[in-house]
Structure 1
Amino acid sequence: MMLTFLYCSLRLVRNVSSCSKGIFIASSVRTPIAQPGLSRAELGGLVIDTVVKRAAVPHKQIHELYIDNACLFDEKIVAEAAEFGNLSKSTHCQLNNTALTSAMEALSVDNENCSANKHDVIIAGSIVSVNNTNFASIKLCQGQELNIGISKQIIDDYVNRSKSLYLRGKSNGAFDGEMVPIRMQHLREQKLIIHDDIEHDFTDLNYKGAAAVVLTNFEGSKRLELKPLALLLGYTYVEASKKDILFAPLLAALQTLEEAGINRNEVDMWEVDTYDPLIPLALIKKLGVDSDKVNIHGAIIGSPLMSIIHLVTHVTHSLKPGQIGCAAALHGEYGAIAVLIRQCNYNIQQTVPVLTLFTKDPCPLCDVMIEELETEFNGEYILEKIYITEKENVRFLRLYRHDIPVLFLNGQHLCWHKLNKRLLRKKLNEIINI
């Protein structure tokens, strides 16, 4: 009854299913939520440059860049972020109210025309900061506990559990694959920020974060010989009335599942906005979703800095091959976005996992990585080497000249600079258990 009522009260603005168009996430990254000592444009440039490299896409092949305008800044920052991210001057840069869904639609609409013009690789990004965040939605959520039958004790327990899960996930490497470390000068030393500051003061204007995804269609994936991380099954943007804002992510998720023909029980992971703990609790209560599948690695409760692109990035890196995940978040003043994805599974095509090492001769760091692989993972993989200085590999020379050694597993980025043993072990175990 409650869900029926909410369907009637929500105003559906956008609802486009991407399942028939074959839209893929080629790569996705985010920075920690922290005080990075970088401008918003520099932070955006960092995730743009990194997400392009991890997709193994030449920078000049990025034809469009959409940056979310949920944080209320101007077009100049988008252009500066593109420049810091080493994109071509011909890349069309756009500040957009719904960057992720707009980028998806750009790939969905007139697919034949996109293919003909090679406009088949697009970045959607989000640059968030406390001093530019719209707090209207969180204020509307406050005080609605009794309206949905959730006690203060349940809320407190959920907050404590989320923090515990987050700390456990951080210690177990749950965020290794998605995170872009931030290097900053601290006094006379360089400081490396690799984790979110979960104790940050949400009123401190210095806190920022950024996230980005590279989206492509089947044509772009084939043309550039990519191995995408995930397939988009559907997405929805809704706008709600003020009194129903708490339920907007829930309804956006329901609508997305319905359009994609996916039962809620088929979803292996839900990553839900924790701008207010009532949002995930409402989803658990009203949909009857297993709470162990919701925000499985916890969350930064109360932070306004986790955009839908941040959540999609975490889902993309957390799902196991073949699994389905749903990300849902408040967006803007009265809106919400939900995105449904399925993790791609290439491992069934490989009898033995293939590690691809981008290297050159000489490369002492590459030699160290090879030695570590032989010592700790002997017999578990096939190693292929791509020498970036050879004429036919100029694409990779332009991408990785300052980053080698760069290691891919079954065609997808794993790590660079040094071997991430924990992440490689996790990925190899997933392959074994398929």
Structure 2
Amino acid sequence: MPRCEDCRETGAQPCQGDLVLCQRCSDKRFPPSGSGREAVCKDVIINDLLCFTVNKMDTLPFDIITKLCTETYTEEETETAKRLVFDTCKPDERYIKRKGGDKSKANMEDIQRVLHSTAPTSLPTFVSATLHLPAVNLDHVDISVCMQELQFVRQEMKLIRDCSIDSIRVQTELVALRKEIWELKNRLSSAPPAASCSAPPAAPCPAPPAASSSAPPVASTLARPKESYANAVSDTCPSETIPKSLHAGDSGRQVERASATKSSQASRRRGYPSGSRAVARPKSTSADGHSDLDSEGFRLVQRKKQRSRAVVGTAVSSSLSAAKSRPAEIFVTRLEPDTLTQDVERYLTDNLSQKYSVSCSKLTTKYDGYSSFRVSVDYNAVSEVLSPSFWPCGILVRRFHSRRRSSTS
């Protein structure tokens, strides 16, 4: 069953303004014509918010009125209007002072609820003195306010125009000043420099010599005879930069310098400048009179003889015997926890191909789920002991590495 929007009783029906009211509330809001309830209250109260709310609460939805009033009026004005409604209408509910961010919205809801629950004949007449009302359509627009806003806009546009004119004037003066500075710089740069009386006249530059008709062509000048690297080094480089292998033989190990005439001729013949220092090729001969240099003038380097390697005896003798070597140590782990050292020694003795000395010691493990051993065997049996096929499946075997002693100890 629908409930009445005013008294919240059942049996309500739709009535004017899309309202759902019971018969008693409908007669209170919309009294029948000709009754004595049409008497108009003589109380007149000036309040813009209440004037707008009372005149629009039958034509506009509840939430639209709340939104327009909260956007137009301040929290103080809403609180004053609520206090005025409670003082004049005197509803049954008590006055509650709202708090929080939605205080204006809650006050508007309280105002509309009290106005809807009060009989229209009991409501005072709310009027507006300043016409500060929310603009719903053209009928509620205040022309005087629009004219005032238009006047403010005109004043602001005038200030903007004056500022624009001043800025254009300053910019024009700045352009003119830049132009004057540029002309002054050009005038100073175009002025001829003052000539000195004591300075002698500049001598004319000599003309370059004419090219000789008998000059060799470029191709013939660039062409050089093919020669070895040793010859080029010995003819152009000084004696200080020649490698030791190109110096003279074992007796003196000195380089003879060629005469200036021969060096200049050789340099001109090879295309090098005549002022370069020329060095004679080194001469090196061996003890039997033969030269130890190759065709290019380099000395061949002989490799040194390799030292003979040591040998290990294999013969069997009763008079001499070699010292016993240190036994190799093997690490064996992943055995059953109850495995003993005698079991490991017995297994090695039974499975080795020859009879070797075997010793075993049990190690302390981190966990109790397995056991580890340190095995000492002869070096000759290391390859056989480290073979994977020698041990049962799952046992880990490797060389034993003892901990290194620290430097402090």
TM-score w.r.t. length of structure 2 = 0.18
Bigger Rg, which one: 2
TM-score w.r.t. length of structure 1 = 0.17
Greater percentage in strand:
1
